[in-house]
Amino acid sequence: MESGRRRILAGAATALALLPVFLAIWYVAAIPLAWIPGKAALPVIRVASGGAATMALKGRELVYTVKLEMPYRPGGVPRVAAEVEVAAAKYTYGIALFLALALAMRQSRRPVPILMGVVILVVLPAFGIAFDALKQLGATRGLPPFLAWGTAMREAVALGYQAGTLLLPTLAPVAIWLVVGRDVWLPPAFAGGSRAT
């Protein structure tokens, strides 16, 4: 077998062996890890909902309390408060995949890029968490009149939720690893940008 191919398969096998170890470590650290993207998601939730939002950790769940108001009308200002729970672990487990990949191959075992990758992967789940909370707010009975979202906003929330749930958690660690470990995969001709399509 060609050496490059053998190196990739050996690296993949090592990553596979490391993955359960890092998933176990991640699971232990998942609660404090949830706090950072949870807080980072707050401004997005506030701006998109147009209300006041606070966050609390309840077990492994992030609980967002959102208070919304409608413009003044005779009889007072209509107010409503809603609580939505987001399972943050669904968005942060990519850290384990990234560490397994990064440490599996010698060419990507570079401490500073790995640390930077981990920092990005701690903050990035804020995207999925924010859109998960917004999707739930949009589906909460009685809330849509307070949110006053148009069709475009509802579509954007749906797309953001799908991308944040289905793509980002696994794609982000792989994409960051491709940057950190580009010596593993980048063919010399491609690196030089000289290939014709």
Binding region for another protein (CB under 8 A):
2, 4-5, 8-9, 12, 15-16, 19-20, 23, 89-90, 93-94, 96-97, 101, 158-159, 162-163, 165-167, 169-171, 174, 184-191, 193, 195-197
The sign one gets for the Cα dihedral 24, 27, 32, 38 is positive
> Among candidates 117, 74, 81, 76, which has minimal Cα distance to 99?
117
Residue placing its CB nearer to another protein in the complex, 82 or 105: 105
- CA–CA distance, 97 with 101 (Å, rounded to integer): 6
> Among candidates 90, 113, 89, which has minimal Cα distance to 101?
113
Residue placing its CB nearer to another protein in the complex, 142 or 192: 192
Q: In the bound complex, what is the minimum distance in angstroms from residue 139's beta carbon to another protein?
A: 16
Question: Which residues lie below 8 Å from residue 14, measured CB to CB, with a gap of 6+?
Answer: 104, 105
Enter the tokens of residue 170: 């696994």
Residue placing its CB nearer to another protein in the complex, 51 or 138: 138
Q: In the bound complex, what is the minimum distance in angstroms from residue 173's beta carbon to another protein?
A: 8
Residue placing its CB nearer to another protein in the complex, 96 or 134: 96
Q: In the bound complex, what is the minimum distance in angstroms from residue 117's beta carbon to another protein?
A: 15
